Homo-oligomer: A and B are copies of this chain.
Amino acid sequence: MSQSRLTELTWREVRRAGEEGIALLPIGSQEQHASHLPMGTDTLLVEEVVDRALDMLAREAGPGVVRLPALPFGHSPHHLFAAAVSLSAATLGAVLDDILDSLVTSGYRRIMVVNGHGGNDEIMRLAVKRFALRSPVTVAACSYWTLTAGEEGAGRPDVTPGHAGWFETSLMLAAHPDLVRTPVPARAPVEPPPLFDAPPYPGLTVERHGEWERVGGSTDDAADADATRGDRLLEDRARGLARAIQAFDAASRSPR
């Protein structure tokens, strides 16, 4: 089998690939990433992880995957105060519905959505649930940072991926060093910490009006971000995605 890009295939190749293969849709965002990272960070990183994962699969004769062009816009209403280009939840949901419906019309029965932006998460999950209810498909969804091959040791336990902080900056230093404005400025902790990141009680989600503006747009200090550790983190996520694709292939290939 093979890895290919839908945008480069003829329609008959797309059809043929859909008989056995998996369609994979990356989704990202265009939104503020503090003063040192570019607007497209989430899109660039999800594309990087997907590219590396598909390269790994190609070397391993993995399952055939047709990669769709990344959707470069996501759901970022909380960043509209800072120049985001944002789709509403309804619009993003409709885009996903239309793309997924198109793929099933073309014969695909196994589809993955790989997400690069936290704000897309619930919308993606609802879309794949809707899709599996209305069509005879098996569909998977993930955000790239939640997959790991478990080999790294490069992460920092005190830093969840966050936004425009140590994690994303390290990855960008590895993947697109020319797009990171250096030196990355230090950032003092905000008091109280943002409620969306530090809920007052475990298990409780809290949203406060104006919170992103109050905390200045990032979750943690990125001054110590590190390209080497960023590259190891990227490799780990890419390998995690490659293994997830293989596991999805195995689980969805089995006759029911």
Chain A residues near B (Cβ < 8 Å): 6-12, 14-15, 18, 30-40, 43-44, 68-73, 77-80, 82-91, 94-95, 97-99, 102-103, 105-107, 122-123, 125-126, 128-133, 135-143, 146-148, 179, 181, 192, 195, 200-211, 214, 217, 240, 243-244, 247-248, 250-252, 254, 256
Inter-subunit contact A140/B206 (CB<8 Å)? yes
Inter-subunit contact B72/A85 (CB<8 Å)? no
Inter-subunit contact A209/B7 (CB<8 Å)? no
Query: Would you mind naming 10 contact pairs between A and B with Cβ atoms under 8 Å apart?
Result: A9-B39, A10-B35, A91-B91, A122-B123, A131-B207, A138-B195, A195-B251, A201-B244, A204-B244, A204-B247
Inter-subunit contact A14/B35 (CB<8 Å)? no
In the bound complex, residues from chain B placing their C-beta under 8 Å from that of A181 are: 10
Known interface pairs A105-B80, A192-B254. Does A73 touch B86 (Cβ–Cβ under 8 Å)? no
Give Cα A87–Cα B146 distance, bound, in whole angstroms. 29
Inter-subunit contact A201/B7 (CB<8 Å)? no
Give Cα A8–Cα B33 distance, bound, in whole angstroms. 11
In the bound complex, residues from chain B placing their C-beta under 8 Å from that of A247 are: 200-201, 204
Give Cα A176–Cα B77 distance, bound, in whole angstroms. 37
